[in-house]
């Protein structure tokens, strides 16, 4: 079985307890305007151009016969990519002398992935860590993700998943026996705002959260704090009350805004004007957001 992987991050300390290795799978049913892993949204591989590595020889343009690569106009990057036209023939990629042209993912088997994930099992055992599958959303490649989890459970490795929960109920429930910790996003409580900023309403997400609570699995809820979108007193209060009513013992972790995603959008040839000028929140501002939850009686966890 083959999956589409866009990253494997070793010594991860923010994706569950202890020292972990996090596997990032491509494909996500949502399209959050602020996504900090935008390369994980589309399941297909995309061709990326890293201009800082380019020696401006033009070889890639001359070799491309599908019209996917062309010279940029004045004021634009040296080349521009039309990924829709790209046949993924690898001709220009292989010919690039500085590797300025690279795909943003690779296809790997369960065996290949498992071998890498098990390399650091000593660190998992000594730190109480394990492996986490993230994305994208792992439920988008459900069969592959579950196959990897099964291999990890055979080796008695702690497993965690990071998911939006936007998936078929039966598919979501099929992960329950294989995952020790569910790290789930509740981004926006208001259905209309959820649809505005992610492309989908949140009815299925809320239903799956209730289903997950019934399973008695360990859960960590995360709220990404995006200025002018999710980081409002009303939104944090509404999500806090929902979690408190549905699963009083479940903690909530507030994630500070990550402005670094803007660079990824540039590499992808896209712009996110809505992210311009947005900055991380200060420690004082994060403390104030956490106080909203604490005042409700919600158990909070502080992101490191």
Q: What is the mean pLDDT of residues 11-29?
A: 97
Give every CB contact of residue 125 below 8 A, 6+ residues apart in sequence: none
For the chain, what is the domain count?
2
Q: What is the pLDDT of residue 190?
A: 98
158 and 121 housed in the same domain: yes
**Does residue 303 surpass a pLDDT of 80?**
no
Burial zone of 106 (CB within 10 Å; 0-12 exposed, 13-18 middle, 19+ buried) = middle
68 and 135 housed in the same domain: no
**Does residue 86 surpass a pLDDT of 70?**
yes
Rg of the chain over Cα atoms, rounded to whole angstroms, equals: 21
119 and 238 housed in the same domain: yes
Determine contact, residues 40/25, Cβ cutoff 8 Å. yes
Type and span of the H or E element at 32:
none
Percent of the chain with pLDDT over 90: 88
**Does residue 304 surpass a pLDDT of 70?**
no
CATH code, domain with 99:
3.30.70.20
Q: What is the pLDDT of residue 260?
A: 81
pTM above 0.75, yes or no: yes
Q: Which domain holds residue 80?
A: 47-103
229 and 88 housed in the same domain: no
Q: Any idea of the CA torsion for 167, 169, 173, 174, to the nearest 10 degrees? A: -70
132 and 276 housed in the same domain: yes
189 and 242 housed in the same domain: yes
Look up tokens 């866009």; give the residue.
6
110 and 89 housed in the same domain: no
Look up tokens 């859960």; give the residue.
219
168 and 111 housed in the same domain: yes
């Amino acid at each position: 079985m083959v999956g589409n992987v866009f990253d494997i991050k070793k010594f991860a300390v923010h994706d569950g307890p202890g020292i972990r290795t996090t596997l990032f799978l491509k494909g996500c049913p949502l399209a959050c305007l602020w996504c900090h892993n935008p390369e994980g949204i589309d399941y297909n591989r995309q061709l990326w151009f890293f201009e800082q590595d380019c020696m401006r020889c033009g070889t890639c343009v001359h070799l491309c016969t599908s019209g996917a690569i062309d010279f940029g106009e004045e004021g634009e990057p040296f080349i521009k990519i039309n990924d829709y036209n790209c046949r993924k023939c690898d001709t220009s990629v292989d010919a690039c002398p500085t590797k300025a042209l690279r795909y943003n993912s690779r296809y790997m088997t369960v065996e290949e992935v498992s071998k890498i994930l098990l390399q650091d099992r000593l660190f998992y055992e000594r730190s109480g860590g394990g492996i986490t599958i993230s994305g994208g959303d792992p439920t988008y490649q459900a069969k592959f993700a579950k196959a990897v989890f099964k291999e990890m459970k055979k080796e008695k490795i702690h497993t965690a998943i990071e998911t939006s929960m936007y998936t078929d109920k039966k598919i979501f429930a099929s992960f329950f026996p294989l995952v020790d910790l569910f790290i789930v996003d509740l981004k926006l409580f208001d259905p209309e705002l959820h649809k505005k900023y992610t492309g989908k309403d949140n009815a299925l997400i809320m239903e799956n959260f209730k289903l997950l609570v019934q399973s008695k699995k360990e859960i960590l809820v995360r709220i990404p704090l995006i200025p002018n979108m999710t980081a409002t007193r009303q939104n944090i209060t509404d999500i806090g009350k929902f979690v408190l009513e549905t699963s009083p013992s479940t903690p909530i972790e507030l994630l500070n805004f990550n402005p670094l995603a803007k660079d990824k959008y540039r590499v992808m040839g896209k712009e996110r004007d809505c992210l311009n000028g947005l900055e991380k929140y200060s420690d004082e501002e994060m403390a104030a957001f956490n106080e909203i939850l604490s005042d409700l009686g919600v158990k909070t966890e502080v992101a490191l």
